[in-house]
Amino acid sequence: MYWVIERPGEPDTWTITATEARGMMWPRFPGGIIEFLYAILSRRTTFALFPKDFPGRRPPRFTPSGEPDPKWVAMLRAQGLYRDIRTGAGDGVQGAGEAGE
Q: What is the pLDDT of residues 37-53, one digit of tens each?
A: 888 888 888 888 888 88
CA 38/CA 75 separation, integer angstroms: 27
Strand partners, 29: 16
pLDDT band at residue 89 using 50, 70 and 90 as cut-offs: low
pLDDT (mean) for 5-11: 91
Whether residue 59 has pLDDT greater than 60: yes
CA 59/CA 5 separation, integer angstroms: 31
| pLDDT score of 99 | 40
- Map out the domains of the chain as residue ranges: 2-41, 62-93
